[in-house]
Amino acid sequence: MAFNRFSLQVLLRLLALLASLSLLAWSLVQDAGIFTLGWLIALTLLQVWLLFRFLTRTNDELAAFLLALQQQDTMRAYSSGKLEKQFSNLRESFQKISRQFQLIRVDKEKQTRLYQALINQSPVGLFTLDQQGGVPFCNRASLHLFGLEELSRLEQCRNVSDALPGFVDKLRPERPEVFPLSDHKAHTLPVSFTRKDILAGGEALRLISMSPIREELEQHEMASWQKLIRVLTHEMMNSVTPVVTLSKNIEMCLNPLADNPDGEARLGYIHDALHSAAMIGERSQGLMEFVSTYRSLTLLPDPKPSQVMLLPFLEKQTGVFLAEARDRELELKANAVPEDLTGFFDQGLMAQAVINLIKNAIEATTGTSGARISCSAGKDNDRLFIRVSDNGMGIPEDRMDSVFVPFFTTKEGGSGIGLSLCRQIMAMHKGSIEADSEPGKGSTFTLWFT
């Protein structure tokens, strides 16, 4: 309806302009007077100006409306005097759109404030990093953990620790790492940092989350101490109880010697006493070996990493057991994918870990027909791994949680430190070890590197 009214007015104005031009042309042909020609020229120019003004008015109003939207000016009002006559519903449409955008903006601001309040109330520290080292956003928990009033640049973290900016900058996505911060009482506070890459408004940002883990570490530490105390108590009691018993036996054997002059009986008591003394020596030696084994877990040297070719490294470790593998009719293979794969670790310590895994695999395959052991290296999601797999007896499910506990063993005569030693070596390399086993089908141990 409004469009028809607009078209009719344009048509009428064009007809009026055509009429003015026709009269002007007729006056020129008839050689009318100067006054008539001037009047007709003025009338024609007026018609052109009115038509131009009429056509551009709507365009100007629409341009102003779009500019207001671009500048997010949703408070703009549109008067009825300009467009009401030509477009009776255009002004109303503009007002509706403007009110709708205003409601959307208010709702967006409410959501933004709600999200900011929730993030600021979070006990987890959160801040973002741009490509230039700026910090566009930082919540209160982060400022509290850093002990700062504000944080706009990563370099400001040098006020907390000189090493902190470099540590944050080198974080890998989805790979939590721990950095010790100092709380307001100057106590060390271990904090777990995690990085996640995000895209906001076409800009690549790094979202860093910070979570204090003191309580978690204390819980794990307490559980570890409890396990260790149980193991130490068990081993100590196993060694000390026979010593006490044998000592009493020696006392019982020697006491009658003072009152019994019979030589043959005396020799019998002495023989029993010597046997008990020998047993004491044997148990004491076992206790010393236990302590020596325990010390081996605590006296590992600091790792000295270097670049290592994985295939020759694995072939060297499996080569130690080739003769034993032939005697047992055991298939023992080493491979790496790709063949020129390299790793960065302490070659001596890692050789100790791999040898322990291969020894365990050989023992697990004892009595297995068609026994096979595979020692391989490769990458999974850019993470380097070394994997030792066998098709031996496997590990019962109820014992899987204890295989890395020091001195826990299911083998007769085993020390129970092999897997614990492997875990400690991997921890020194900031890596980890995983176990996967199915009884009757075999086991797989994987060394993961950062």
Q: pLDDT tens across 91-146, in order?
A: 566 667 777 777 887 887 887 777 777 777 788 888 989 988 899 888 888 888 88
CA 148, distance to chain mean position in Å, is: 25
Whether residue 328 is predicted with pLDDT greater than 80 in this model: the reply is: yes
Confidence of residue 375 (pLDDT cuts 50, 70, 90): very high
Q: What pLDDT was estimated at residue 333?
A: 92
pLDDT digits (tens, 9 = 90+) for 415-428: 456 687 888 888 88
Whether residue 156 is predicted with pLDDT greater than 70 in this model: the reply is: yes
Q: Which residue has the higher pLDDT, 167 or 267?
A: 167
Q: What pLDDT was estimated at residue 246?
A: 60
Choose the CATH number for 122-212 among 3.40.50.1390, 3.30.450.20, 3.30.200.20, 1.10.1040.10. 3.30.450.20
d(CA 411, CA 417): 12
299 phi and psi angles, rounded to 5 deg = -115, 30
Q: What pLDDT was estimated at residue 2?
A: 46
Same fold: 122-212 with 217-298: no
> Cβ distance 127 to 208 under 8 Å?
yes
Beta bridge partners of 178: 192
Taking the domains of the chain in order of start, what are their residue ranges?
2-103, 122-212, 217-298, 306-448
Q: What pLDDT was estimated at residue 185?
A: 47
d(CA 377, CA 361): 16
Choose the CATH number for 217-298 among 1.10.101, 3.30.70, 1.10.287, 1.20.58. 1.10.287
> Cβ distance 191 to 178 under 8 Å?
yes
Choose the CATH number for 306-448 among 3.30.465.10, 3.30.565.10, 3.30.390.10, 3.30.300.90. 3.30.565.10
d(CA 211, CA 142): 9
Within 10 A of 315 (CB to CB), how many other CB atoms are there?
Answer: 16
